[in-house]
């Protein structure tokens, strides 16, 4: 596999980031530099860290570290989802949908962390 964009975890995390982008368009303006920017940044960072990890996959420790960073950003995104729900910017159905997406991404990232050899460069 020569393209990180073909990874299921990348596709799912990109989809989550885009869902969050669309949802946050409806957040109040006073949240623009707080909740809105933070949840957008953390959800996008899941993808960007995956891209970085993939390019360093020949170095197991670096690969695992960057995938771990991606997992950390996924966890941060979950926290911002909790805030969005508690502030009543999203309803419970949407919160549950976003959490399910994030949980699945977390499971895939955990698999990558525990099985880095499966992603090793074939060069």
Per-residue pLDDT of 89-120, as tens digits, reads 999 999 999 999 999 999 999 999 999 999 88
Q: Are 19 and 77 in contact (CB under 8 A)?
A: no
Q: What's the pLDDT score for residue 123?
A: 58
Measured between alpha carbons, how far is 105 from 101 in angstroms, rounded to an integer? 6
Q: What is the mean pLDDT of the chain?
A: 95
Domains, the chain, with CATH or none: 9-118 (1.20.1440.60)
**Percent with pLDDT over 90 in the chain:** 93
- Say whether pLDDT at 2 is over 90: no
Q: Is the pTM of this model over 0.85?
A: yes
Centre a 10 Å sphere on the Cβ of residue 115 and count the other Cβ atoms it contains: 10
Helix runs in 25-91, H state only:
37-55, 60-86
Interval 25-40: pLDDT, tens? 999 999 999 999 999 9
What b/e string do you get for 90-113 counting C-beta neighbours within 10 Å, with b at 16 or more? beeeebebbeebbeebbebbeebb
In which band, very low, low, confident or very high, does the pLDDT at 121 lie, cut at 50, 70 and 90? confident
């Amino acid at each position: 596999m020569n393209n990180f964009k073909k990874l299921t975890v990348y596709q799912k995390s990109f989809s989550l980031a885009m869902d969050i982008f669309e949802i946050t368009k409806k957040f109040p303006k006073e949240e623009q530099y707080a909740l809105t920017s933070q949840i957008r940044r953390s959800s996008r960072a899941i993808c960007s860290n995956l891209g970085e990890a993939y390019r360093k996959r020949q170095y197991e420790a670096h690969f695992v570290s960057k995938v771990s960073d991606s997992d950390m950003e996924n966890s941060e995104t979950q926290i911002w989802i909790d805030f969005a729900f508690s502030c009543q910017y999203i309803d419970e159905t949407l919160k549950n949908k976003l959490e399910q997406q994030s949980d699945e991404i977390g499971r895939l990232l955990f698999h990558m962390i525990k099985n880095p050899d499966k992603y090793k460069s074939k060069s």
